[in-house]
Amino acid sequence: PSLRKLAGRADLLIGTAVNTSALADDSAYRKSTAKEFSSVTAENVMKWEAVEPERGVYDWSEADDLIRFAHDNGQAVRGHTLVWHSQLPTWLTSGVADGSIDSDELRAILKNHITTQVKHFKGKIYQWDVVNEVFEEDGTLRNSIWLQKLGPSYIADAFRWAHEADPKAKLFVNDYNVEGINAKSTAYYELAKQLRAEGVPVQGFGIQGHLGIQYGFPGDVAANLKRFDDLGLETAFTEVDVRMILPVDDTKLARQADDYRRLLDACLATAGCKSFTVWGHTDKYSWIPGVFDGQGAANLLDENYAPKPAYSAVREELASG
């Protein structure tokens, strides 16, 4: 059985980020994406620079292609992402930098962006990463243009606007280095508690899960998930990959398999953890080598789509979950 079949038996959606160029050009990629996964996330094409490259000019074409692919293959779609400091269109960043867009206008632009995008996909997206990567490692709010120009209230506003546009979508915060209990994940815990006390519609905590075997496994992942579960929030792993320093060898692959297994195990042990998404599923298309020099091989399948020990570990874990 495929990963998606096993995940279905465990009442879990198993997802992958999708590189839409590969989806268009590579039939083996289309096949593995459809066969193994019950959820997809756009790796890039739902980001602001992709959907509104010029002010007021929207381009949904690649995102809509992915939605269609998912629909044809009975897959759910995670939305990534509405408010982020990265991959913003130039018209926006330069307008803020040269002062031609002031704070009031920026707030209106953000509201319009969230409303337009969430409405466009209304009913087709089950979870949205509403705000992405809003904290620094020390648990203070990230010094993004959003914080600088709008102040911390942009976060609550973003959730309210998204909820208004699609009341049924589950709305998530999402970040990396928040697998275990640390200053950053605790900042999310406090933020979620505060927002919920204020009646702000935040429903989920997304843990990206970008690990590297050289850093060791963050030990208390299940305990971290549990505290969000106790708050009444859903949890999800949203971008799992486990990189290593190249070259690949059997010891590293075994360590990698173990890290995948342990993240999935924490999800399966948590009632409100209903989706587990990997950030790409083949080493053929991975963001890692382009960003971390000399590292890679982070995915479940190798460059030729051959299953790695991590793939078997995920299968076994799903079968036992």
Task: Please list the active-site residues.
Answer: 133, 239
Q: By CB under 6 A, what part of segment 83-142 binds ligand G3I?
A: 86-87
- CB pairs under 8 A, 24+ apart, for 32-36? 32/281, 32/282, 32/301, 32/305, 33/69, 33/73, 33/281, 34/69, 34/73, 34/75, 35/2, 35/4, 36/2, 36/3, 36/4, 36/281
The least distance separating ligand G3I from the CB of residue 11, rounded to whole angstroms, comes to 26
Q: Is 139 left (phi over 0), alpha (psi -120 to 50) or beta?
A: left
The least distance separating ligand G3I from the CB of residue 1, rounded to whole angstroms, comes to 28
Nearest Cα neighbor of 206 from 180, 176, 236 is: 236
Question: CA-CA distance, 16 to 72, in Å (whole number)?
Answer: 16
Q: Which is nearer to ligand G3I, 42 or 268 (CB)?
A: 42
| 208 touches ligand G3I by CB under 6 A | yes
Q: By CB under 6 A, what part of segment 272-301 binds ligand G3I?
A: 287
| 179 touches ligand G3I by CB under 6 A | no
Q: Name the token pair of 32.
A: 């593995």
Among 36, 43, 62, 259, interactor with ligand G3I by CB under 6 A: 43
Q: Name the token pair of 159.
A: 């959730």
The least distance separating ligand G3I from the CB of residue 98, rounded to whole angstroms, comes to 23
Q: Under rule CB under 6 A, how many of the chain's residues touch ligand G3I?
A: 8
Question: CA-CA distance, 135 to 117, in Å (whole number)?
Answer: 24
| 73 touches ligand G3I by CB under 6 A | no
Q: Which is nearer to ligand G3I, 46 or 67 (CB)?
A: 46
Q: Name the token pair of 304.
A: 């030729």
| 259 touches ligand G3I by CB under 6 A | no
Place of tokens 């509104």: 52
Per-position x/- string for 234-253, each x denoting binding to ligand G3I as judged by CB under 6 A, each - no binding: -----x--------------
* Residues found near ligand G3I in the complex (CB under 6 A): 43-44, 86-87, 176, 208, 239, 287
